[in-house]
Structure 1
Amino acid sequence: MTPAQTFDCAVIGGGVFGLATALELARRKRKTVLLDRLGSGHPVTSSTGLSRSIRIAYDQPFYVKLAQDALRAWRDLEAATGRGILHLTGQIDLGPAAKLQAIHDTVRAQGGAIRAADATELRRLMPELKPLAGEIGLYHADGGTVLAEQGMLALAAAAAQAGAVLHQRERVTAIELGAARPVVVAGPRRISAERVVIAAGPWSTALLEPIGIDLPLAPSVAQVTFLDAPDQVGRPGIAEWETSAAGGVYGHPVPGVGYKIAFDAGSTGWQPDVTDWSFDPDEECRILNWLKQRLPGMPARARLSQRHPWTMTPDADFIVDNRGPVTLACGCAGHAFKFGPALGRLVADVMDGALHPPELRLDRPALQRQASATAPIVR
């Protein structure tokens, strides 16, 4: 049997949750190793692609504060690595009055700047938009775009610089508990660690069930469309909340490309061994039809459509909690990426017992329900 390598912490999963956690643990002088089955940023993983939205527009104080922390942490990472990661052009929020009021009041209560915008102001902020009669939306400046690919490269570089060992394209096949220290098995490699962090996105269930942790996680396949609209890269992001049973729509500018739009709900059909997700032309057609109605001034030309997974929980909140020597960091619920390096601090604090957010706990009542792969993002 191959002798086990010894670390303080082993992180399984090299997406944004895992990379950010490895970075933070290494900064805290923990001897840390990270393993990822496909390699960070692989096209069929959750943390892939050019861009993600970022916003402080949440109706829960926890996420507003986490987003505020994330903006500072991304800026620190930009300074440390020399990579441009944030493209902040603000965000417009549209949708049911009760939802918008809750967002407005929560952001203001956390010291954030957000304001109501009538139809005239909405057209000034985004001339391509066609407001509804009498529509009132919201606008805040601390929103826009995370250049995701650059963010992932920066997190990986910073983690390695801090001393984390990154094993890419190494699939974890087992976690052995019961001895004094857990052992993580990846092919012939055996890693002994005091703590194991499972941040494997939609692959988490396959690692958790054999060690007796059963979670209501529902992997989903989501599609995004990049518009050939280079003149719109200075426009704000947009979120239209829950306008129908099918959910809402979100979008944001992408420098060098144009503008990205997508429905905020995924579909069923995720498979763990898929090596390429073909885009759905019918969904592309539906999102372009929404564009023609809501943003008629935006060029309705699809430059590229892509599909990738995310993992829903029953309440669209993440799961970050400890179970013995294992720390869970999973259930992105379609809105985790924006928090980037702030996620690493969150997971490390939970691991160390310095923080135990009730929204993310394993024993919260919502986790007694089943999650739906087709549920919209409601956070």
Structure 2
Amino acid sequence: MSYDQIVIGAGVVGAATAHALAEAGASVLLLEAFERGHDRGSSHGGSRIFRHGYAEQDYIELSLRARDGWRALETATGGSILQLNGAIDHGDPESVGAVEAALGRAGIPTEHLTAAEAAARWPGLHFETDVLFAPSGGRLLADVAIEALLTEAERAGAELRFESPVDGIEVTDGGVVVSVAGQRLEAAGVVIAAGSWTPGLIGDWLAAQGSPLPPVRVTEEQPAHFPPLQPDSADDSAWPSFVHHRLPDANGVRPPGVYGLLTPGEGVKVGLHGTGPTVDPARRDRTIDPNRLADLTAYVAEWLPGVDATAPTPISCLYDNTDTEDFVLDRVGPVTVATGFSGHGFKFGPALGDILAGLALHGTPAAARFRLPRNA
């Protein structure tokens, strides 16, 4: 049997792409190396931040498109996926000001508070500068979102295969052949949305075509959940999602940014953005590094007075990032490629699926910042 498109990877981007392709009437096969809902990649877990808080207008527009997609998915499934309990930006005034100005240009309502006003409203958090609050932010229920995308992709006609690692991809005159456990699967095109595994699957071929992937750094990150000190404070109004744009230290060194949000039933999730070591995604052992955990708990003890910093539940997850933290969304011949999403990509899931489906079926280009180079 031949397919219109084979999608590799059933994380948020692959699941959203399979859904969009199937809704467009294409015959689709989705291949995932691991079991349904696995925790080896970047999409697992109970929650992800949803926010429009970018200084770049195209990312804000993409977030609005994604919001509409999440709401449509909720309507289709009858479940709750996107919960808007607000989002905070605080810390470096220049960074926060750029976000505030961009949201203003986009017509997205915000509220500007002093540090004292913000501390009175959210006593579980500590602030040293003015705070930007956007009521339109909040969280996504990540595991629920992935399962909803997969279910709706199936409903629309997509075939899903789990525990089916790809052995190879061959580009032919008529399309592609994807090998899985000795079976050769033919399609007019392939979408590779395998997260941290994407460069290994197709990087060499893209380079040979004169459209190399940018460097993609794969790291093992180590956020943690912390229990609120007051159980009755574990509610939406007490814990908006937040991003802390930290100020430089006494030596002029800017510490890594920090993000956090309440995961219902698990506690307040806090993570240092992009600080983990480089790893091979197939060989990481997910052992918790006590030194990195100590750095995180020291931050939490200072900046989150409303949680118990001594009782973390650490998590291991993968990041795959380009140097600019921009995504890769492009097509070369019958190969559509997607990577570089970690740290801020989950929120855009439905919008990314639509873009990749347009690329795969019609060659509709993504924004320039997401495209591969075309070398002579």
The question of a shared fold, defined as TM-score above 0.5 by the shorter chain, is answered with yes
SS where residue 208 of structure 1 aligns?
A: helix
Aligned length: 359
Q: Residue type matched to 2:296 in 1?
A: I
**Distance of 2:255 and 2:14 partners within structure 1:** 31
RMSD: 1.8
| Alignment match of 1:106 (pick from 97, 102, 108) | 102
CA distance in 2, matches of 1:138, 1:355: 34
Per-residue Cα deviation, 1:265-303 (whole angstroms, up to 9, x for no partner): 132242232375122232222222111211223332435
SS in 2 for 1:177: strand
Whole-Å separation in 1 of the counterparts to 2:104 and 2:97: 11
CA distance in 2, matches of 1:76, 1:270: 36
**SS of residue in 2 equivalent to 1:169:** coil
The aligned counterpart of 1:147 is 141
Provide the C-alpha distance between the structure 1 equivalents of 2:313 and 2:172, rounded to a whole number of angstroms.
48
Structure-2 residue corresponding to 1:161: 155
Task: Report the CA distance between 1:67 and its aligned residue.
Answer: 1.1
1:241 matched residue in structure 2: 245
Identity of aligned residues (%): 33
Shifted more, 17-26 versus 201-210: the winner is 201-210
Maintained 8 Å contact 1:25/1:32: yes
Letter in 2 for 1:340: G
Other structure's SS at 1:267 match: coil
Q: Which runs of 5+ in 2 are unaligned?
A: 249-253
Counterpart position of 2:302: 293
Matched, 1:343 2:352: yes
Tell me, yes or no, if the aligned pair for 1:10 and 1:193 is still in contact at 8 Å: yes
Matches within 5 A, 1:1-379: 5-132=1-128, 135-213=129-207, 214-215=212-213, 216-229=215-228, 230=231, 231-234=233-236, 235-244=239-248, 245-274=254-283, 276-351=285-360, 352-363=362-373
Q: Partner letter of residue 46 of structure 1? A: S
- Pick closer, same or farther for the CA change 1:38–1:146 going to 2, 3 Å: same
- 5+ residue gaps, structure 1, are 366-379
SS of the residue 2:172 aligns to? coil
CA 1:10–1:91 in structure 2 vs 1: closer, same or farther (change >3 Å)?
same
Question: For the Cα contact (< 8 Å) 1:197–1:327, is it kept in 2?
Answer: yes
Q: Which amino acid aligns with 2:86?
A: G
Worse-matched range after superposition: 196-205 or 269-278: 269-278
The answer to whether the Cα contact below 8 Å between 1:358 and 1:364 also exists between their aligned partners in 2 is no
String of CA shifts for 1:210-250, please: whole Å, max 9, x gaps: 42434211111111111122533322111101434331111
- What is the match of residue 251 of structure 2? none
Q: TM-score, structure 1 length as denominator?
A: 0.90
For residue 218 of structure 1, give the secondary structure of its aligned residue in structure 2.
Answer: strand
Moved over 6 A (4+): none
